[in-house]
Structure 1
Amino acid sequence: DLAIDYKKENVTEVIRDWTNDRGADLIFNTVGRNEATADLGRLAFSGQLAFIAGGPDQSVVKPFTLSPSIHEVALAAAYASEDDRAIRNLGHMASELLQLVATKELDPLVTEEIPAADIVKGLQRLSERHVRGKIIAKFN
Structure 2
Amino acid sequence: MKAVVVRYPGPPDVLEWADVDTPRPGPGEVVIEIRASGVNNADLLQRQGLYPVPPDDSPLLGLECSGTISALGSEVDGWAVGDEVCALLNGGGYAQAVAVPSTQLLAKPAELSFEEAASLPEAACTVYSNIGMLARLQPGETFLVHGGTSGIGSLAIQWAKALGAHVLTTAGTPHKVAQAVALGADAAINYREEDFAAAVSKATNGRGADVILDIVGAPYLARNIRSLAPDGRIVMIGGDVSSTVLGIGELMAKRGSVAATTLRSRSLGQKAAIVDAVRSDLWPMVADGRIRPVVGNIVPMDEAPRAHQLLAEGNVVGKVVMTV
If the TM-score is normalised by the length of the shorter chain, which range does it land in?
Answer: 0.7 to 0.9
In structure 1, the residue corresponding to 2:234 is in which secondary structure? Answer: strand
| Amino acid of the structure 2 residue aligned with 1:15 | V
- Which stretches of structure 1, 4 residues or longer, exceed 6 Å deviation after superposition? none
In structure 2, the residue corresponding to 1:135 is in which secondary structure? Answer: strand
Which runs of structure 2 are paired with 1:106-117 in the superposition (5 Å)? 106-117=291-302
- 1:4 maps to 169
The one of 297, 303, 314 aligned to 1:118: 303
For each residue in 1:10-64, what CA deviation from the matched residue of structure 2 results, as whole angstroms up to 9, or x when unmatched?
3122211121111111111123321234211110122111121146845223273
Which of the two has greater helix per residue? 1
Which consecutive unaligned segments of at least 5 residues does structure 1 have?
none
* Counterparts of 1:17 and 1:125, CA distance in 2: 35
Is 1:46 matched with 2:46? no
Is 1:89 matched with 2:277? no
Is 1:25 matched with 2:210? yes
| Amino acid of the structure 2 residue aligned with 1:46 | D
For each residue in 1:102-129, what CA deviation from the matched residue of structure 2 results, as whole angstroms up to 9, or x when unmatched?
3221122111111111223323432444
* Counterparts of 1:125 and 1:41, CA distance in 2: 33
Q: TM-score, normalised by structure 1?
A: 0.78
* Counterparts of 1:24 and 1:13, CA distance in 2: 12
- 2:246 maps to 59
* Counterparts of 1:120 and 1:102, CA distance in 2: 33
Which consecutive unaligned segments of at least 5 residues does structure 2 have?
1-165, 173-189
* Counterparts of 2:246 and 2:218, CA distance in 1: 13
Cα separation, partners in 2 of 1:38 and 1:65, compared to 1, 3 Å: same
Q: How far off its partner does 1:3 sit?
A: 2.7
* Counterparts of 1:137 and 1:98, CA distance in 2: 22
- 2:318 maps to 133
* Counterparts of 1:6 and 1:49, CA distance in 2: 18
Aligned residues: 135
Larger RCO (alpha carbons 8 Å, 6+ apart): 2
Q: How far off its partner does 1:83 sit?
A: 5.2
**Does structure 2 conserve the Cα–Cα contact (< 8 Å) formed by 1:48 and 1:70?**
yes
Q: TM-score, normalised by structure 2?
A: 0.37
| Greater alpha carbon shift after TM alignment, 53-62 vs 40-49 | 53-62
- 2:261 maps to 73
**Does structure 2 conserve the Cα–Cα contact (< 8 Å) formed by 1:29 and 1:51?**
yes
